[in-house]
Chain A
Amino acid sequence: MKIHEYQGKEILRRFGVPVPTGVAILEGGDVREEAGKAWDGLGKAVAVVKAQIHAGGRGKGGGVKLARSREECQDLAFQIMGMQLVTHQTGPQGQKVRRLWIEEGCGIDHEYYAGIVLDRQSSRVTFMVSTEGGMEIEKVAAEAPEKIIKEAVDPRVGFQAFQARRLAFGLGLKGDQHKAAVKTFLALAKAYEATDASLFEINPLVSTTDGGMLALDAKVNFDDNALFRHKDFAELRDLAEEDPNEIEASKFELNYIKLDGTVGCMVNGAGLAMGTMDIIKHVGGEPANFLDVGGGANAVTVEAGFNIILSDPNVKAVLINIFGGIVRCDRVAGGVIEAVKKVGLKVPVVVRLAGTNHEEAAEMLRTSGIDLIVAHNLQDAAEKVVAAARGN
C-alpha cells in the first residue's frame, strides 16, 4: 500500500524522525485562501509547495515549487492543484493533483539518501544511505555502487546503534550532524519495523545549516499482508490514486491490472495469468490486462471479471484460460455460461478449460447455445484469441 508524502512524514514524525512542519490542502476548498493561511502559519521567508500524488519524479514534472512570498505561495498552490502531473512513473497521461503539501523551507547544507527495504537475497531488512541524495538511487546503484553504504539488520536483535554510527561515519558526518543522523537512522529503523513497512525512501535526507538533519521527502509503502495489524492505516488509503477497475476487482477478490493491448484475459493463478499474457504476445497479440480470478472461479467472479475486462474499450476479444486443479472445470463452465447470458457476448470469447472435469465442461459449453470459441490447449487458445481480436 502506498501513501502520500505528507502522510508518511506525519508517521515518521511520531517516531522521532525530524521532518519539516507543513500543512496539507485537499481539493474542493478555496486553494488560494488555504495556501495563504498555510504561509501565515509557517511564518518563514520560504515555503515549498508540493503536489501529492503516488508517484516519484514530482519535482522534475513541475509539481514542486519554491515560494518566496505569500502571493507566490498562493499562485503556485492554485497552479499545481488540479494539474495533470506527468512524471517518469505516471505514464504519459499523468496523474491529476488533488492534494498539496505546503511546508517550511530550510537551509540545506547537503542532500543525502536514506532507504530501508527487504534484501530478498539475504532475507534481511537492509538500511542504505548515500551521499548522492536527490538523485535516482537506481542510477547511483548502477553507476557508482560504492557510493551506497548498507547495513543488514539482524532479525534477532534489530537495528543497532553501532550500525547507525557506521552509516553516519560512512557519509562523512561530524559533530552535531553526526549525532542528529544517528538519532534519525535509529528512529527510521524503529518506524519501519513498527509500521510493517515494505519500503522507506528519504530522498533527500538533508543536513541543515544549523547542524540538524531533516527528511525533506518521505516515500513510505506498507506490506499489504500486514495491514490486518494496522487498521488505522485504512484512512490513509487514497482511492483517487488507484485505478477504479482495480478497486472494483479487489471487491471480488480478483487481481486486475490494466495494460495497453486488445486481448482481454481471465486466468486462474498469477503465474498462469502472466504466462497467458506472454503467449498472447508471443503469437502476435497484445494483452489488455492481467486478471487472476484465484481459486474460486465461479459465476459471480467470472461475471465481475467480464464486466471489468469489457469496461476497457480497447478490448477486442477475451480469453478465459482455466487450469482446474482443486477448481472444477464444470463449475467454471457453468459460471462462464451464466455470466455470458447476463453480460452478453460483446466481443468474441475464447475458452480453454483444462484439468479436473474438463470433458464435462467442454460438453456444457458446446451445448449451451452460446457462441463461444473452444480451444484445446494453451497454444491453440492464444492463436484463436489473437485471430479473433484482429477480426478474423
Chain B
Amino acid sequence: MSILLNKHNKVIVQGFTGGEGSFHAGQMMDYGTNVVGGVTPGKGGTLHLDRPVFDTVKDAVQATGADTSIIFVPPPFAADAILEAIEAGIRLLVTITEGIPTRDMVPVKAALNASGTVMIGPNCPGIITPGQAKLGILPGFIHSPGSVGVISRSGTLTYEAVGQLGGRGIGQSTCVGIGGDPIIGSTFTDILRFFKDDADTKGIVMIGEIGGSAEEEAAAYIADNIKVPVVSFIAGQTAPPGRRMGHAGAIISGGKGTAAEKMAALTAAGIHVAKSPADIGPMMAELLT
C-alpha cells in the first residue's frame, strides 16, 4: 500500500519540453511512473519522449484523463502553472520549482485550500512510492518497497534517512518531500492524515528543520491520531538565529522556530527524537522489532 501515488496515477509534466522537465520525465518513466503526456504552451500537437504535448493543462486532462501533474516551470511562471493545474482539476500536484516569490504563493495557497487539489512543494524533491512510481527528482534506486512512511522538509537529508533504513532492510511505503519554503501546499500534518489511513504504514520518519511551527503542530496531531511509532529528527540544532540556512523557510526569527523548541514538543508528544541524523535508521529499526 501507499499514499497519494501509485503506478495507476496518470501523470502529466508541466514544463515538459524544458531541460529539467525532459530529464526528470525520462527518469520518472524509467522508474515506472505512468506519464501520459506533458504541457508546454505553444508546442501543443507535437510529441516529446513519445508522449503527446498539449498547450494547456485542460487540454491534457481532457485528452489523457490525467489526474496528476508535476511542475518544472521557472519561478516567475510557477504560480500561474499551479493555478492552471488547480483549475483543470488535477488531484495530485508536485511543484519542484525553487525560488517562487512569497507574494505569489499567498494567493496560490488560498486557491489550494478552496480546491480538491493536494499539492506537494514547492522547492521539494517530490514523492515516491517505491516499486510503483516516482513524481519528482528523488533518486529511485535508493528506495525499496516496505512499510515505513517518510515525510521531510529536506531533499538530501531524506535520502540519507532512506539510505539508513534500506541498509537495515527497512523499505518505505511512500516518501514525501514537502519542501523548504515558508508556504507549502501540504504540511507535515496534511501528509500525516494520509499515513494515518494507510494500514500498511507501520512506522513514520519525520524530518523537520528550524523555522516556523509546522513540527509543533504535527506533534500535537501525532499525539492524538497516530498509533504507529514515529521517529523524528530536526536539522539545524547548531544553526545561528536570524540566518537563513539555505531553505527560504529555515530561519530562527525573533527567537522562534528553534530546533530545541521543536524537539521538546515532539518528545512531549511521545515521538522518538533522534539527536543525531545518524540515529534515524537505527532508532526505527529498533522500534519495528
Contacts and interface: CB of A to CB of B under 8 A. Distances in A.
Interface of A: 89, 118, 120-121, 123-125, 137-138, 141, 154-156, 193, 196, 198, 223-226, 228-229, 255, 257, 259, 267-283, 287, 290, 292, 323-326, 354-356, 377-379, 382
A1 to B, nearest CB: 11
Contact of B254 (A120, A137, A271): A137
Interface residues of B, number: 63
Which of A268, A273, A287 has most chain B Cβ within 10 Å? Answer: A273
A226 B183 CA distance: 14
B6 interface: no
B249 A355 contact: no
A269 B238 contact: no
Contacts of A282: 275-276
B11 to A, nearest CB: 19
Given A155-B106, A155-B110, A278-B238, 9 more contacts: A123-B106, A141-B254, A224-B248, A269-B154, A272-B157, A274-B154, A274-B246, A287-B238, A323-B159
Contact of A271 (B138, B158, B182, B183): B158
Nearest to B248: A225
Given A269-B156, A281-B238, A120 B182 contact: yes
A275 B233 contact: yes
Given A274-B236, A382-B278, A325 B139 contact: yes
B245 interface: yes
Interface string B191-211: 000000000000000010111
B157 A229 contact: no
Contacts of A89: 242
Contacts of A229: 76, 101
B183 A123 contact: yes
B278 A279 contact: yes
A108 B125 CA distance: 53
B179 to A, nearest CB: 11
Interface in B4-46: none
Contact of A156 (B110, B153, B277): B110
Contacts of B71: none
A278 B183 contact: no
Interface string B203-225: 00001011111100100000000
A378 B156 CA distance: 13
30 contacts: A118-B182, A120-B182, A123-B106, A123-B109, A141-B254, A226-B102, A228-B76, A229-B101, A259-B240, A267-B156, A269-B154, A269-B156, A269-B246, A272-B160, A273-B245, A273-B246, A274-B245, A274-B250, A277-B238, A278-B235, A278-B238, A281-B237, A282-B276, A290-B243, A323-B160, A325-B156, A355-B159, A356-B139, A378-B277, A382-B278
B105 interface: yes
B152 interface: yes
Nearest to A261: B238
Contact of A278 (B152, B156, B236, B256): B236
A196 B277 contact: no
B239 A274 contact: yes
Interface-central residue, B105, B158, B247, B278, by most chain A CB under 10 Å:
B278
A268 B182 CA distance: 21
Nearest to B247: A270
